[in-house]
Amino acid sequence: MEPLIKKIESRTLNVGIVGLGYVGLPLACEFASANVSVTGFDLDHEKINAIRNGISYIQDVPTFEVANSVKKGLLTAEMDFSRLKEMDAISICVPTPLSKTKDPDMSYIEKAVHSIQENLRHGQVIVLESTTYPGTTEEVILPTLEETGLRAGRHFFLAFSPERVDPGNPIYKTRNTPKILGGITTMCADLAKKIYELAVEKVVVVSSTKTAEMVKLLENTFRSVNIAMANEMVMMCDKLGVDVWEVIDAAATKPFGFMPFYPGPGLGGHCIPIDPLYLSWKLKTLNYDARFIALAGEINESMPRYVVQKITVGLNDYQKSVKGSHVLILGVAYKANVNDLRESPALEIMEDLLKLGAIVHYHDQFVPQLKIGDKEWFSEALSESRLRQADCVVIVTNHDYFDMELIVEHSKFIVDTRNATKHVKKQHIVKI
């Protein structure tokens, strides 16, 4: 114990990050910038080679940060998981997707934990960051690691600290976003806190790993449910002939008791569309039906179809059928000013339009190419001629660089899912 504390205080410990994606690479760079030696572990050859060459593949991590850390010898990348034995602290930052039946896919976590189990030694601190259902750390990771004969809280130390990454956020990054942490024992939490405080400004310790797991799910379920309410409000206001955006903006002037949430074409990213389902799945095993989560998911998942319906009805008003019409999708990333396609509603909208026989094009400077099914697509230049050729322009993601005057002036018919044309009142614009 004492040797580890001395290493933490002198910043001479070795930190391992398993999984070098949207969570792992930013965390690794924060430790490296704090003059702590970091080794990233991943099975992706391209990621390993990029880091070794000082190149970032994550938009929020500048290449110069990776290059500087690599040059100083503070950041390395490995595919050899036997080197986990050399690490004093290991953070697990692997993906946690859902299966086709919307059950938690624990395979990435299980593989990472088995690699750690094979190389576990006295004095190591293990922290799971991957979002998962309450109880995972205690019920899955703890018994697997204790199969070695080592005991948590005595021989090694185990904690859970949920990631809080918001891609494209210009203000809140890994370092200045408060970090929640819960340990299997008090000592587990204390040691993990000391380590994370080297890279993060504020660490908030809660009573248990299960509490920390639940905190993450509450955060994203809160957003999912409130966005679902905003999305259902779209449909209600549509039937009543009221502008939902005006209603929300007016309600937001209330200085207490109201927080604005905005509708959109559907949920995207890894967290909000997926994390609440981890919680509802766990509760089903306890014979409890999480009705709010199910209803919110149903409403949010219906939004891409609602957008396609708006496109279909709008084209019909211009005496056009969807089949054979040229539809230009503006923005395919799941949110503005990022290149992240995870769970993006734009992809579902494009797929549905293709099934209806539309000729689909897209423009997104952040996403130069993408794949739908077996077909590869390329972003097309946003020009007057491209806009004029389109029978319908659909604003799915409102990137800051969009020239709305150009779009409004040269488009025949616009479906605006993001209120990008807020100050424009023209007949050829339909808002969801």
Catalytic residue ranges: 271
Lay out the sheet containing 125-128: strands in order across.
75-78, 37-41, 14-18, 89-92, 125-128, 157-160, 179-183, 203-205
Where would I find the beta strands (DSSP E) of 298-348? 326-330
Residue found under tokens 């955006």:
245
Beta bridge partners of 393: 328, 414
Which two structure tokens, joined as six digits, stand for 89? Answer: 């602290």
In which region does residue 343 sit, left (phi positive, over 0), alpha (psi from -120 to 50) or beta (all else)?
Answer: left
Structure tokens that stand for 250 in this block: 């007016």
Rounded distance between C-alpha atoms, residue 58 and residue 47, angstroms: 10
DSSP code per residue over 141-189:
IHHHHHTTS--BTTTBEEEE------TT-SS--TTTS-EEEEESSHHHH
Radius of gyration of the chain (CA): 24
Report the candidate in 156, 151, 158, 152 with the shortest Cα–Cα distance to residue 136.
158
Q: Which residues contact 326 (CB under 8 A, 6 or more apart)?
A: 358, 359, 361, 389, 390, 391, 392
Amino acid at 125: V
* Closest to 199 measured CA to CA, from 410, 17, 388, 420: 17
SS3 state of residue 108 = helix
